Amino acid sequence: MEAHIFARVAQRYLNRKTKFGNGKSGTATLVLKQMSNRWKGRSIRDISKADITEMVEDLEARKLANATINNYLKYLKAVMNYAVDELELMESTPKIKMLRENERELFLEPEQVKRLLRFLDPLRADLVEFALNVGQRNTNVRLLRWDQLTQGLDFIRYKGSETKNGKPQLIPLNGDAQSILRKRVHLREELELSRPRLVGQIDHVFFQEDGKPFHRTSLVNDSWRRAVKNAGLPKGTSFHTLRHTFASWHIRAGTDIRELMELGGWSSFNSMKRYTHLSNEHRKSAASRIEGMVLR
């Protein structure tokens, strides 16, 4: 019976080695821990549709955004499928339906980002500013290595094993992103000067005082949530919100969808549907540029 306990299955899922490395994202760890506490001691076989509905209702009562609640449902579904397909602990899973997300709430305005930066420590602020300019995911930014950067700091080169879709990517860096990298080079030199034992040991761009990168939960922990709250941002604002913000700002600036997919490393047009309304608004604005040319 012990192997069927939800908390144990969830932990096995989190520890499972994948082609993208060991372990899952900080968000997965956080939400599955909460569900494990909720269903403490219960078998995964006993988690019913009614239990899931009750959890969703409780999350909604906490005023969480649908996108945030969908994170719970996404990882619950993943654990359930893991129990069926790989552990063979049960034959089927309850039907889990994702909530409809309000796509217009998936990105931040520039003023909101400025407020967030004011409440973050310098390292997290650098991570946020860089992410906004490159549109990459938490892991790819947080664990960015110096050897992934081209010599002129013009591009990031990701191997297929380092991306979510398993395909190699070449991500161009704009001037703001390059400025942050030059700043990080200077900070690395300062740290190596003060701690000679770290010379040649700082592999990651966004390092802490010990030369190591942040742990995967460092961008979903109390420090992050406190900064989000103090900046007056929506409660569900996450580091991944920055990727949506990157895309939304580009669409508003007139970047074509195909160009945007290359800039941010998206491989499917389906993933771009959430930005359709912004693209349409831009097209309407573009169409109006020749109004009055032959007005009589």
Cα distance between residue 182 and residue 186, in whole Å: 6
Claim to verify: residue 167 and residue 131 sit in the same structural domain? yes
Claim to verify: residue 188 and residue 79 sit in the same structural domain? no
* Domain closes at, from 100, 116, 135: 100
* Domain closes at, from 83, 100, 117: 100
Cα distance between residue 51 and residue 96, in whole Å: 11
Q: What is the pLDDT along the chain (296 residues), one digit of tens a residue?
A: 578 999 999 999 998 875 434 455 678 889 999 999 999 999 999 999 999 999 999 999 988 878 789 889 999 999 999 999 999 999 999 999 988 765 445 789 999 999 999 999 999 999 999 999 999 999 999 999 999 999 999 999 998 888 777 788 899 999 999 999 999 999 999 999 999 999 999 999 999 999 999 988 898 889 999 999 999 998 889 999 999 999 999 988 889 888 999 899 887 777 787 777 776 766 666 666 666 667 66
Residue 290 lies in a domain: no
- What is the reported pLDDT for 290? 60
User: In the chain, how many domains are there?
Assistant: 2
Parent domain of 61? 2-100
Claim to verify: residue 183 and residue 41 sit in the same structural domain? no
Between the CA of residue 263 and those of 4, 136, 157, 165, 205, what are the distances in Å? 43, 9, 12, 15, 20
Claim to verify: residue 277 and residue 135 sit in the same structural domain? yes
Element (H, E) at 33: helix 26-38
Residue 128 lies in a domain: yes
Spacing of C-alpha 211 from chain mean position: 23
* Domain closes at, from 100, 115, 146: 100
- What is the reported pLDDT for 166? 78
CATH number of the domain to which 189 belongs: 1.10.443.10
CATH number of the domain to which 8 belongs: 1.10.150
